Amino acid sequence: MERELAAAHAAVDEAVAVLRAGRDQPHTRTAKAAKDFLTEVDTASEDVLKRALGASTPDIGFYGEEGGGAALDEGRVWVVDPLDGTINYATGSPLCGVMVGLLEDGVPVLGVIDLPFLGTRVDSSGGALSDVSALDEGIVAVGDAFHRGGPRMDAFLDLGSEVHRRALRFRCVGAASVLWSWLVGGQIQGLFLAHNNPYDVVAGHAIARAAGAVVTDYAGAPLTLSSSGAMAAVPGIHAPLIDLAADLAAAAT
């Protein structure tokens, strides 16, 4: 899919320019949900991605975090997160990125992620996992769980505590784009997200799978659009991470 990969890279280039231009500007925060907001940079970046991808690949549908779009379970659809890690971005942290993934009949087939302020770009043409054979040799990261409540959130937080106890190191950075990029770059060996939002998962799923990572739901089943949550790991510690996630898997059903 050389044409599609080139189109994704070109669109990400334009979105990254929007993020860079808005970096030091004051941002208007528009509430989305409890403890969550978007800025004008989110919408400007999504507009750029939609225009660029529509011009280069008019035969492919579009779905964005902020504006929604085409149905995800049939045909070919671009799925984009125009500014992943909005709160990080708005508060001056470099831990944020742009994600563009391509679904084909609901299956991730291509992805590009750029972390503009870390100088990192990864795509589904390959990666460099750093495999380990034991959990205490691996660095494992979790996503934010601010939007969850009840038993599921409790189970997610308990999982984070167990990972912190058992893994070599624990990470939580507030941006799925960073976690996927670090997994395929060898900086971490596993990740758990608190959800399976397509704009946070599709690009990373395609990239991680192409690099040789194991991408599943919390119970170890193949990850699909209907899965209740997403995780990924290097082959050497996927099984023990699934064991640790048993309570979360049960709470998420």
Question: What are the tens digits of pLDDT across the range 168-220?
Answer: 999 999 999 999 999 999 999 999 999 999 999 999 999 999 999 999 999 99
Q: What CATH number does residue 248 fall under? A: 3.40.190.80
* 58 in any annotated domain: yes
47 labelled ligand-binding: no
83 labelled ligand-binding: yes
Q: Residue 29: CB partners within 8 Å, gap ≥ 6?
A: 37, 38, 39, 90
Same domain, 110 and 191: no
Q: Is the pLDDT of residue 36 over 90?
A: no
* 242 in any annotated domain: yes
Same domain, 96 and 185: no
Long-range CB pairs of 153-160 (<8 Å, 24+ gap) are 153/194, 154/251, 155/247, 155/248, 155/250, 155/251, 155/252, 156/192, 156/194, 156/248, 158/247, 158/248, 159/192, 159/244, 159/245, 159/247, 159/248, 160/192
* Model pTM score: 0.95
* 129 in any annotated domain: no
Same domain, 111 and 18: yes
84 labelled ligand-binding: yes
* 221 in any annotated domain: yes
Same domain, 102 and 153: no
Same domain, 74 and 176: no
Question: What are the tens digits of pLDDT across the range 44-92?
Answer: 999 999 999 999 999 999 999 999 999 999 999 999 999 999 999 999 9
* 128 in any annotated domain: no
Identity of the residue numbered 202: V
46 labelled ligand-binding: no
* 130 in any annotated domain: no
* 75 in any annotated domain: yes
Domain around 33? 2-123
Same domain, 90 and 110: yes
Same domain, 40 and 150: no
49 labelled ligand-binding: no
